[in-house]
Amino acid sequence: MRVGARRINLLEDMVYHYSSPVFKHSGGEHHESLLQSIYHYRNYRFPEVANAQLTALVSALAHLDNNGVLLAYLLTIEGPAYSCHCYWDWIEPFVDGRISYGKLNTDQMQKFKAIRENIYKIK
């Protein structure tokens, strides 16, 4: 039984690797794509960095992706975890969860509400 219960936690583990020409930084040997780092670090080591990257991604979608090319890409690539059909599937529930969690400072809450507003613009 323990093994089965532990596997349920793995539904949110990253199971897909995103190869991308867009990297967090260009120097050194560590090349992690933007999409990879946003999902991977959203709750763990660097949540503020992931939140800033997510803010930039959603803002770009809402204000700069006039032809819908980036959104179409995020709607068609594999989801990062077993619980997601495509990459976009985890973003809105994650933002809603952070807002409803309520343990954010005022600045963090404003950032997540701005992401939420941009998600509404995208829809």
The whole-number pLDDT of residue 20 equals 60
Q: What is the pTM of this model?
A: 0.72
CA angle 78, 88, 14 (to 5 degrees): 50
pLDDT at 31: 63
Are 79 and 86 spatial neighbours (Cβ–Cβ below 8 Å)? yes
- The pLDDT assigned to 22 comes to 52
Q: Which of the residues in the chain have pLDDT under 70?
A: 1-31
